[in-house]
Amino acid sequence: MRGLVTFLSAFVVVALGYWAYHQNILTQQSIREVERLQREIGLEGENLSVLRAEWAYLNRPDRLRELVDLNFDRLGLLPMSPAQFAVMDEIVWRPETQPPEAVPLQAENILFSASQTEEPL
């Protein structure tokens, strides 16, 4: 009986040791994985910030103004004037693009040029 208990406890100790070792290995693997991902996140974040800077650079008002001047005739542009204010509902949308959510007709909501937030990415 005593021998059996001894044997069993020895077995349990070995099993627990194996389990702990296994968990240790798994943890280390996870840590390595997390570190890899973090490095990747860091790199992606860096790329993102570069892209964001590039987006801002390409959209700088100076450049847009130049492009507008270059393509004024080709695109049939008009100088911006207060007379061009319109109501959202009056705009006919292309079939493949969905208009933005319908908004109740109020003075504040006509202000699409200023109130729309531009999101680069």
Partner 1 sequence: MTRRIALRPLARILEARASGANPDAIERENLARRHEQARDRMRQRAESRLLMLATAFFAAFLTVGVKMTTLAGSEPEEPHIARSAASVLGTRADIVDRQGRVLATNLVTNSLYVQPNDLIDPVTAAAGLAEIFPDLEEDWLLRRFTSGSSFAWLRGSISPEQQQRVHDLGEPGLLFGPRDMRLYPNGALAAHVLGGARFGEQAVNSAEILGVAGIEAQFDAELRDPARNGEPLQLSLDLTVQAAVEEVLAGGMTLMNAIGAAAVLMDVETGEVISLASLPDFDPNARPRPLLVGDQADSPLFNRALQGVYELGSVFKIFTAAQALELDLVEPETMIDTRGPLRMAGFSIEDFSNYGPENSVTDVIVRSSNIGTVRLAEMIGTERQQEFLRSLGLFETTGIEVVEQRAARPLYPSRWTDLSRATISYGHGISVSPLHLAAAYASLLNGGTRVRPTILRRDTPQEGERVVSEEVSALAAAMLRQVVTDGTASLGEVEGYEVGGKTGSADKPDPEGGYYEGRLLSTFASVFPANDPQYVLIVTLDEPNIVMLGEERRTAGWTAVPVAAEIIRRAAPLLGLRPESVDPELAYQLSSASQ
Return residues touching partner 1 (CB under 8 A).
Answer: 31, 34-35, 38, 41-42, 45-46, 49-50, 52-53, 55-57, 59-62, 65, 76, 78, 80-87, 90-92, 107-108, 110-120
CA distance 8 to 2: 10
Q: How far is CA 26 from CA 14, 33, 44, 78, in A?
A: 18, 10, 26, 65
Helix H or strand E segment including 80: none
Between residues 12 and 68, which has the closer beta carbon with respect to partner 1? 68
Residue 89 CA to residue 47 CA, distance in Å, equals: 39
CB of 32 vs partner 1, minimal distance in Å: 9
Backbone angles phi, psi at 77, to 5 degrees: -80, 160
Q: How far is the CB of 13 from partner 1 (least distance, A)?
A: 16
When the beta carbons of 18 and 45 are compared against partner 1, the nearer one is 45
Q: Is 74 helix (H, G, I), strand (E, B) or coil?
A: coil
Minimum distance from CB of 48 to partner 1 (Å)?
10
Closer residue to partner 1 in complex, CB, 16/87: 87
Shortest distance in whole angstroms from residue 121 CB to partner 1:
11
